[in-house]
Structure 1
């Protein structure tokens, strides 16, 4: 019964986020708004962590299974992916380096 409550709370945040996204005059992912809502509720302690802990742990434990359909779907686009492989790799590496530099710089500023 506890897992059902956990999933209902998580799905409620997702559905409210999707509803908010539908009301916005610009495109924004509803799932991100739902996560921000969940973060707000947890950080203000309006929603106790115990209400979503077990359900969240279950989802995280089986996260790899949730990505299998995405990986299988990508197999249909191997020709397109192989054409842009260099661009994909260079974008990923440059993004990683940029993130590391920004986070490192922010951390240095926080220490001084």
Structure 2
């Protein structure tokens, strides 16, 4: 019965987030808004952590299973991904280098 309550609270935050996203004049993921709402509720202690802890732990424990449909869906686009593999890897590496340079530079500036 406790897991049902946990999942109901998490699902309620998700549905409210999707409702808010539908009201916005621009596209924004409702799941992100729901997650932010859940964060606010937990931060302000309107919802105690104990109310969603077990349900959240269960979801985290089985998270790998939740990514299987996404990975299976990507298999349909192997030809498209293989054509742009160089660009994907180049973008990821250049982004990584840029982030490292910016963070390193900011760290140097913040040191007295």
Please give the TM-score of this superposition, normalised by the length of structure 1: 0.88
1:96 corresponds to 2:96? yes
Structure 2: 5+ residue runs without aligned partners? none
Matches of 1:106 and 1:36 in 2, distance apart?
28
1:64 corresponds to 2:64? yes
Equivalent pairs counted in the alignment come to 112
Structure 1: 5+ residue runs without aligned partners? none
More divergent stretch after superposition (90-99 vs 79-88): 90-99
Matches of 1:32 and 1:9 in 2, distance apart?
15
Give the CA deviation at 1:96.
3.0
Which residues of 2 match residues 42-81 of structure 1 at below 5 A? Answer: 42-81=42-81
Change (3 A) 1:107 1:55: farther
Q: Which has the larger radius of gyration?
A: 2
1:51-71: CA deviations, max 9, x gaps? Answer: 111000000000000000110
